[in-house]
Amino acid sequence: MADDKKFAGFICTGCGIGDRLDGGRLETTAKRDGKMQEVKSSEMLCNAEGVKMIQDEIDGGATHVMIAACSRRAKVEAFNFPTVAMTRANLREGVIWVRPDTDEHRETTQEMADDYIRMACAEARSMKAPSPSGEQELNKHILVVGGGVTGMSAALESAAAGYPVTLVEKTGALGGHLAQLYKKSPGKAAPRGLPNALDAEFPGLEDTGVEGLIQQVEENANITVHLNSTLTKTQGAPGRFKAEIATESGSTTEAEFGAIVQASGFTPYDANQLPEFGYGKSPDVVTNLELEKLAKEAAGGPIKRPSDGKEVKSVAFVQCAGQRSEKKGHLPYCSGFCCTTSIKQAIYFKEQNADCDTTVLYTDLRTPGAAGEDFYRAGQQKMVTFSKGEVSEVAADGGLKVKFKDLILDEDTEMDADLVVLATGQVANTGPDPYAQLAFEEAEEGSEEKETLRKALEVAPPSILNLEYRQGTDLPLLKHGFADSHFICFPYETRRTGIYAAGPVRRPMDIQQARDDAAGAAMKAIQAAENAGKGRAAHPRSGDLSFPTFRSEGCTQCKRCTVECPFGAINEDEKGYPVYNESRCRRCGTCMGACPVRVISFENYSVETVGQQIKNVDIPDEFDEKPRILVLACENDAYPALDQAAMSGVEINPWARVIPVRCLGSVNLSWITDSLNNGFDGIVLMGCQKGDDYQCHFVRGSAIAHERMSKVGDTLESLNLEPERVAVYEVAITDLERAPKLINDMAETIDKVGMSPFKF
């Protein structure tokens, strides 16, 4: 096979590279050290002529291509050769733009460039062009879990795009909470240019439209609905999910799906935890959802209070009831829909009887969405009183007395009301925490920890998906029990590839947002099914054809990879060997970083491809006073930050050699040990922000890397090296000043602690 390989190197001397560096020497380095059989230079490699030069070489049999030019993030359209293994040496952003253009620096700048060429050549020599495994099939069938407004919308969106849908709803009817509402808040803002007059027609109450929505779902030939049904088993991967749908009566259906949308919605907050607001003490204190029932019963007539059926003449709305509060049992977050809902409900009263006094007591009135502000004004037009006040108590002996602090008038005061409505929030309707399940399994039998976990799991909600995954039955949770999903960077994404969360299970939201969410998640699901059919990765390495494989003969069944995979992609067979599910994999390489025996690799990214780059850096003699710093930078944030810093001319010391990694989670400890042994003087690792506010594209990669690197001290100690030689940082894509500074700080550290003694 080795004979089939043909290596070709291309060096660009444009963008000032030729002026700053000795092109001839670069060519020699690529040939002699990099072992490229053919090396060609171009004054502008990215133009049509340059690209043709490379293509001609590929057509002539080149299988491995090394391009020494700009950053791998630049000119990706020009340098797109999917049939060959390709590497990039970053001479522009990585070398000439970060070094001063003076004679005294000429030598070290050239050394940097030569090293990057050696590294890129070595990387090319140790990789293969990725190709799909061929094991995948396209399955366009989408499974939607939940028949509320989100689930129905997701089903309709998928069906409209030509993807058949199976919708599973656990109750006996479609509609969810939407079906319980009397009316809904408007979805559209007032027309543009509406004059601000007192009689301006602002958007008002709307029919919920739930019947129409249900009818559309029922009539859609592309949608199959299972009522009174749950998922008793879900296994497989995108493109080949297999689910068992069981009805209440016990009959089961099995079907295969390409992807899944989980729209399991929310559970209303339990207002029994709010005795201070009179809930449970007086029947005239109700939650917002309970008020919908009263309004439905009234059907446009006067709303009656539950205690004695008297017509309500005054009503107070208590916003943020049990929400946005750190008190025990309260929800710490804002549910986002309740202010608009209270406006809507106040209008129920005002439209029926304009003389009914309606007061909304809020601390911050939040009306998200296009129609929010206009609807607020609609409420004000109807003389709903909005009062910035913090309610401390609803006294329920005799009539209702709402005690509150008026925050504008800065005084403690109180008001009487016939009815009090508590604007309570949404609790995500998720399954049990899969990591608690995993931890329970891993915990030692009989240990205290195991007991605690057992108790926690006993009171956990029932599973929704019943995934047969190594890492538990359901979607992992992030903040406040909502299904994991980075709400800005990657909405709908979860840590279970091909399963997308939509609606209030992902974050609290209103009807309009849930519908938008449903559309987004449906599109994601379709994309996942299509990608799986082509053997391509889903977000964030969209289109990546490489996938991890392992050498079973070396594997010790240690389970590190199956436990640490952030996406739960790897199952275990009976013997404890990992079972990869290619289309569940996001290609981050966290498994590769985890493997103590280094048997996991991708065709184009492996312990070897990075290890060879490290080994091919030229390490000058200790007395040359030219230290070497290895920088392993996350390709998603840290590496682009360095590129951008280079564009703005931020300097980096000439000792740094930067290698982009897919995720800090993929960093194998052997790279650290090898580089220290090879004489590197310092190592800087740059990953993304970890924790609840993570920015890691692979969710846990950065956190896992930090944990692993905390153990690197032992290695350093055994080598008798100073611990400050290895530093791990969280770097954001915006850290243009900081990222280079961290590398330069390491140079200063080396200045202080001295050169590594391991230079041979």
Binder among 1, 48, 162, 196 for other proteins (CB under 8 A): 196
**383 in contact with other proteins (CB under 8 A):** yes
Binder among 76, 138, 409, 579 for other proteins (CB under 8 A): 409
Q: Residue 508 and residue 497: Cα distance in Å, rounded?
A: 22
List helix spans (H) across 430-545. 434-442, 448-458, 511-534
Q: Are 425 and 177 in contact (CB under 8 A)?
A: no
* Min dist. Cβ of residue 631 to other proteins (A): 47
Binder among 4, 355, 444, 445 for other proteins (CB under 8 A): 355
Q: Residue 105 and residue 108: Cα distance in Å, rounded?
A: 6
**Can you tell me which residue has the tokens 């240690």?**
558
**386 in contact with other proteins (CB under 8 A):** yes
- The one-character DSSP state at 75 is S
Say whether 710 sits in a helix, a strand or coil: coil
Q: Which is nearer to other proteins, 48 or 408 (CB)?
A: 408
Torsions phi, psi for 297 (to 5 deg): -65, -40
**365 in contact with other proteins (CB under 8 A):** yes
Q: Which is nearer to other proteins, 219 or 355 (CB)?
A: 355
Task: List all residues 6 or more positions away from 528 whose beta carbon is below 8 Å from its beta carbon.
Answer: 238, 258, 259, 497, 498, 500, 538, 583
Q: Are 190 and 558 in contact (CB under 8 A)?
A: no
**387 in contact with other proteins (CB under 8 A):** yes
* Min dist. Cβ of residue 361 to other proteins (A): 9
Per CB under 8 A, the segment of 39-47, 285-293, 380-388, 747-755 that binds other proteins is 380-388
Strands (E) across 607-697 are located at 629-634, 656-661, 682-687
Q: Which is nearer to other proteins, 408 or 488 (CB)?
A: 408
**416 in contact with other proteins (CB under 8 A):** yes
Per CB under 8 A, the segment of 321-329, 354-362, 452-460, 647-655 that binds other proteins is 354-362
Per CB under 8 A, the segment of 73-81, 352-360, 435-443, 650-658 that binds other proteins is 352-360
Q: Which is nearer to other proteins, 384 or 631 (CB)?
A: 384
Interacting positions 131-160 with other proteins (CB under 8 A): none
**233 in contact with other proteins (CB under 8 A):** no
* Min dist. Cβ of residue 204 to other proteins (A): 16
Query: Which residue type does 371 have?
Result: A
Q: Which is nearer to other proteins, 388 or 615 (CB)?
A: 388
The C-alpha R_g of the chain, in whole angstroms, comes to 31
* Min dist. Cβ of residue 397 to other proteins (A): 15
Q: Which is nearer to other proteins, 56 or 416 (CB)?
A: 416
- Report the length, in residues, of the chain: 760
* Cα–Cα nearest to 679, from 590, 635, 615: 615
Binder among 314, 430, 485, 604 for other proteins (CB under 8 A): 314
Q: Residue 367 and residue 342: Cα distance in Å, rounded?
A: 10
Query: Which residue type does 504 have?
Result: P
Q: Which is nearer to other proteins, 266 or 386 (CB)?
A: 386
* Cα–Cα nearest to 30, from 72, 67, 73: 67
**377 in contact with other proteins (CB under 8 A):** yes
**385 in contact with other proteins (CB under 8 A):** yes
Q: Residue 723 and residue 682: Cα distance in Å, rounded?
A: 10
Q: Are 23 and 68 in contact (CB under 8 A)?
A: no
What counts of helices (H) and strands (E) characterise the chain? 20, 29
Query: Which residue type does 343 have?
Result: I
Binder among 111, 357, 374, 474 for other proteins (CB under 8 A): 357
Per CB under 8 A, the segment of 204-212, 403-411, 448-456, 588-596 that binds other proteins is 403-411
* Cα distances (Å, whole numbers) of residue 285 to 49, 161, 293, 362, 513: 77, 45, 13, 17, 28
Binder among 2, 221, 408, 459 for other proteins (CB under 8 A): 408
* Cα–Cα nearest to 269, from 332, 179, 223: 332
* Cα–Cα nearest to 151, from 102, 73, 223, 88: 223
Per CB under 8 A, the segment of 206-214, 411-419, 700-708, 743-751 that binds other proteins is 411-419
Q: Which is nearer to other proteins, 201 or 270 (CB)?
A: 201
* Cα distances (Å, whole numbers) of residue 255 to 138, 139, 235, 243: 15, 11, 11, 6
Q: Residue 92 and residue 78: Cα distance in Å, rounded?
A: 16
Binder among 413, 542, 552, 710 for other proteins (CB under 8 A): 413
* Min dist. Cβ of residue 358 to other proteins (A): 9
Per CB under 8 A, the segment of 6-14, 79-87, 270-278, 407-415 that binds other proteins is 407-415
**381 in contact with other proteins (CB under 8 A):** yes
Q: For the CA atoms of 598, 602, 608, 609, what is the dihedral angle to 10 degrees?
A: -150
Q: Which is nearer to other proteins, 197 or 459 (CB)?
A: 197
**359 in contact with other proteins (CB under 8 A):** yes
* Min dist. Cβ of residue 510 to other proteins (A): 20
Q: Which is nearer to other proteins, 216 or 363 (CB)?
A: 363
Q: Which is nearer to other proteins, 7 or 375 (CB)?
A: 375
* Min dist. Cβ of residue 670 to other proteins (A): 60
Per CB under 8 A, the segment of 270-278, 406-414, 600-608, 735-743 that binds other proteins is 406-414
Cα 49–55–57 angle (5° rounding)? 110
Q: Are 702 and 726 in contact (CB under 8 A)?
A: no
What does the binding site for other proteins look like in residue numbers (CB under 8 A)? 196-198, 314, 316, 355, 357, 359, 365, 376-377, 380-381, 383, 385-388, 406, 408-409, 413-416
